[in-house]
Amino acid sequence: MKNSIRNLIITAALVSGILGITNAQSVSGEFSSDVTFGDATAFSSPYTGLNISGDGWELSTNLSDGNVNVEEAKYNWAISDAITATFGSQAEPYGIAWGSHRPSGTAWASAPRDHSISSGVGISTSAYGVGADAFYGDDNYWAARASYGISAFGINSTVGLSVNSNDAQLIDVSTEGSALGIPYESSFEYDLANDGAYWLRGVVTPDFAKGAYGLIGYNSDEEVLYGVGYNCSDNVRISSELSGDGDTVIRASYSF
């Protein structure tokens, strides 16, 4: 009898999952493999993830140590054209590091800092270049970010200020534009409450390089990062990253 109930539960879960994927409006995923050259050569698969989304909902998962971990499981309610409420497990509105752990979200092989995901309710709104995001979760924890976007002289910039109930304060700046005809993107975070911790990263993508790009970065640990990469296709990317301590990481990633 117990086995029958267990099998019924497993069957119901599988059917629900299949129906969920079938009814999803978008299914995407990605894989990555790293080779690290240093004192020894090491191989790893830093990120394997799947994202399923539909009308107002999103479920993202990743595989780590043989376990399936839920990153975000959230759904949205459009209160008005300018205000949206988000419920469930979601990334906190703190800085601009979210998504940098996914190969599809960055040209780098490493993330500049850890990101946080919590369960609760979030509110977001934007108008006239000003954006505001707020989150409230367990144990009265809250986080908020205000941002302002401006475009001038062919450069698009966004400046943000983040705070949370742990007395954290963070300034972030991101820009994209062109210098001497070479397109570039840059990202910067400065932690006002953590001994001035910061990171700065830039990516240049010359048109003549036909999909190749260059990387340069620096952080408050006085670590210089640089490397090159190549977008082999819309789905395949290869990048290399050399740190100040002499380790070199080569990453191959695939997204669909």
Q: Please write the tens of the pLDDT for every residue from 20-60.
A: 555 678 999 999 999 999 888 999 999 999 999 999 999 99
Q: Give the residue-averaged pLDDT of 113-118.
A: 91
Burial 237-247, CB ≥16 within 10 A → b, else e: bebbbbbeeee
pTM score, whole prediction:
0.83
Cα atoms in the Cβ-side hemisphere of radius 13 Å centred on 197: 10
Picking from 146, 150, 135, the residue whose alpha carbon sits closest to that of residue 170 is 146
